[in-house]
Chains A and B, each alone.
Chain A
Amino acid sequence: MSLTTSLYTTLSALEADQGAIAVTSNNISNVNTPGYSRQVAVLEEAPIVSFGNLQFGTGVDLASVQGVRDNVLQLRLDQQAQTQGQLNTFVAGMNEIQPVFNEAAGSGLESSISQFFNSFQQLAADPTNLGLRQSTISDGQTLAAGFNQAATTLNSQQQAADQGVVQSVSQINTLSSQIASLNGQITAATGQGQTPNSLLDQRALLVNQLSGIVDVSSITADTTGLTLTTKGGALLVTGNQSFNLTTQPNAAGFQDVYSQGADITASIQSGSLAGYLQLRDQEIPSLSSKLDTLASGIATAVNTQSTAGFDLNGAAGGNFFVPPAAGPGAALNLAVGITDPKKVAASADGTPGNNANATALANLQSQSIVSGQTPITYYSSIVFQVGNDTSNATAAQSGQQLVTQQLQDQQGAISGVSLDQEGANLVLYQNAYSAAARVAGVIASLFSTAINMGLVTTA
């Protein structure tokens, strides 16, 4: 063993400690970086050398810099992001729809429906009163306007959800292509025996973002990196290649989602894209259809009763509402068909003072004229649906938030940078570095001693 060997041993310590300090300082620098996993300097004992039957260590190696991450936990976080993304989108959409049916704040259709039928009740008490006749028409117009407004709001929310679908698809494509590009870089680096921690972190972050939008399934293969598909099997990323999703209008004029020519709209189960689809294709159509049934039920029953009576001129009564067309649009297009108050068919026998038809019109409100229910009972079931669906989704959202928070805590416990820990490491590596430097100094003085050995100094 020579002093030179000892010097190199010390040098390895200086290098390893410098590297470890670099890792620590990088950790501290990234303490607030989203998606960053803390890194650990892996120190290993250097190979030994043998002299005769003696073995000597040759110092320390900085073997690798490892990112500390739990892939299984990351997978759970991604799945959680999918559920969370769907609920967030759905709840936000429902919160836009709720005001249309907010009876507690007086902004629903209840008062218009009740007022409309009660105006016939009032007319029955004084059937020739033109003011009361006019009231039935203007209350009918208010009711029609209420239905129009509600249907318009639902339609525009449906349009907004459709926009959301298109934007989600565009975000998915952007993220897929970024992930594919990272995949390529990661594969290349891995091929050269490197551990590309920062690329892996970036990719995990992007996959998590993608999971918030669509139901991603991931498969990791050593040769190609990460392969991503939707749960339904549509390929998004494989190796350094990404596959764009596209949108095409369907029969209803809304954009369906396509993957390589196949319509995958129905197979998307979670993520915000699923939330938009749920709003656009299920919740809003269901509410719109019920609103149409209600509008159509009221208009048809009122028209039938009107035509059974007589107006103030003694002529046979006509339709009160413009007869609603079959199919969707009854609520959107509901309109009163008469403007002359004398045309209101209050009489059952053609005499002006007869009120029997007005009474019959008023009493429609307590008859099963809408899908076997009274108009108000049917309407209350719509309000219940809106409230219940929002409430259930909101409760699920809160629950999922807690789960996400817990998983993030677990992930933070594994991968988060602790300034205390880094501080301790810093002191540790600083001390080791100082000690090694001190050893180097001692070796230097030994060299000097050896070099000067046997040298005769003249006095």
Chain B
Amino acid sequence: MSSSRINPNITPDLLAGLQTAQQQLNETVLELSTGRSINSPSDNPVGTADLVLNLSAQAQNDSFQQNISDLTTRMQTADSSLASAVNVINQAITLGVSGGGSDLTTSERGSIATQLQGIQQQLVSIANTSVSGTYLFAGTLVENPPFTLNPAAAAGVTYNGNSSVTSVEIDTGQNVNVNVPGDQLFLNPSGSLLGSINQLITALQTNTGISAANVALGQASSEFEAQTVNYGTSLSQLASTGTELATDGVQLAAQESAIDGADIAQVATQFTQANVAYQTVLEAEGKILSLPNLLSFIQ
């Protein structure tokens, strides 16, 4: 009668069992403490590669949103400058109408012309609005004031900017125009604002062609307001894209969490199980190791 012999030295097996239990415990502790199911690339190679793409998309999304925030501030400044210009233009129109009165004396017309020169300067000042050293209505020649007063010029000003429109990408493949060049705003061929103001000043000073100048100013005013609408359009485009990006951002964050977020409830349960398993193995192995053998009973 013989039975197959079993390995009398069970210590290595016991230690291996203990190690496995401890490793499971460590893994759940790590997941709980970081809140992530991926704590190194080998935990989930495909997930980690996806995570790289997701984090990059999130970073780009953040960058677009930051741009939209900065652009919105800058374009609101431009928009409100242009709104203040509209008030000034309305004053000029009123002055032009009153300057066209047949009962005015030369000196009264001269006085109106002087007021209009003040308005001309205000408009030039508005046209030279800058934010942090960047002139908003200079096309792309943004480093210098685009308009300088020049009585010799037909429009009474020299335009130093260019006619370039700057377009900024605010989402992948989606661009927005962030400026209207100064010449298009203030010296538009379809109605030149600064030109018509200068024309009115000259008309009042010479008492010739005042009504024609008033008509020209009226046209120029309409054209100016039509051009300022571009800013409103761009601002609303910024706002709607900003909302879309915020939504995308939330989705991307949700995706990230789906890729590497630990299911806390599940991990907590696993932790409890691993802890119980570890304690149980410890207890059992402690008992096994202290078991007597036959020699303990031999007298």
Contacts and interface: CB of A to CB of B under 8 A. Distances in A.
A383 B52 contact: yes
B16 interface: yes
Name the prevailing secondary structure of the A interface residues: helix
Nearest to B17: A405
B169 A363 contact: yes
B134 A353 contact: yes
A414 interface: yes
B298 A426 contact: yes
Nearest to B141: A351
Contacts of A354: 140, 164, 166
Nearest to A101: B41
Contacts, number: 194
Contacts of B140: 347, 349, 351-354
A383 B49 contact: yes
A418 interface: yes
A207 interface: no
Nearest to B66: A122
B294 A420 contact: yes
A44 interface: no
Contacts of A99: 40
Interface in B35-75: 36, 38-46, 48-53, 55-56, 59-60, 62-64, 66-67, 70-71, 74
Given A366-B172, A420-B294, A423-B294, A110 B55 contact: yes
A218 to B, nearest CB: 24
A114 B12 contact: no
Contacts of B40: 95, 98-99, 102, 104-105, 387, 390
B294 A353 contact: no
Given A103-B52, A126-B70, A419-B295, A387 B169 contact: no
Contacts of A377: 53
B8 interface: yes
A114 B133 CA distance: 29
B48 A384 contact: yes
Interface in A80-118: 94-95, 98-99, 101-105, 108, 110-111, 113-115, 117-118
A125 B134 CA distance: 12
A417 interface: yes
Nearest to A410: B7
B143 interface: yes
B139 A351 contact: yes
Most B CB contacts (10 A, CB to CB) among A380, A413, A419 go to: A380
A359 interface: yes
Given A101-B41, A129-B134, A383-B41, A118 B63 contact: yes
A414 B7 CA distance: 7
A429 to B, nearest CB: 12
A128 B138 CA distance: 13
A379 B52 contact: yes
A352 B55 contact: no
Given A118-B63, A420-B294, A110 B5 contact: no
A103 B39 CA distance: 9
A408 interface: yes
5 contacts: A104-B260, A353-B143, A377-B53, A383-B48, A408-B12
Given A122-B66, A419-B294, 4 more contacts: A104-B41, A105-B39, A386-B42, A422-B295
Interface of A: 28, 31, 94-95, 98-99, 101-105, 108, 110-111, 113-115, 117-118, 121-122, 124-126, 128-129, 347, 349, 351-355, 359, 362-363, 365-366, 376-377, 379-381, 383-384, 386-388, 390-391, 394, 401, 405, 408-414, 416-424, 426-427
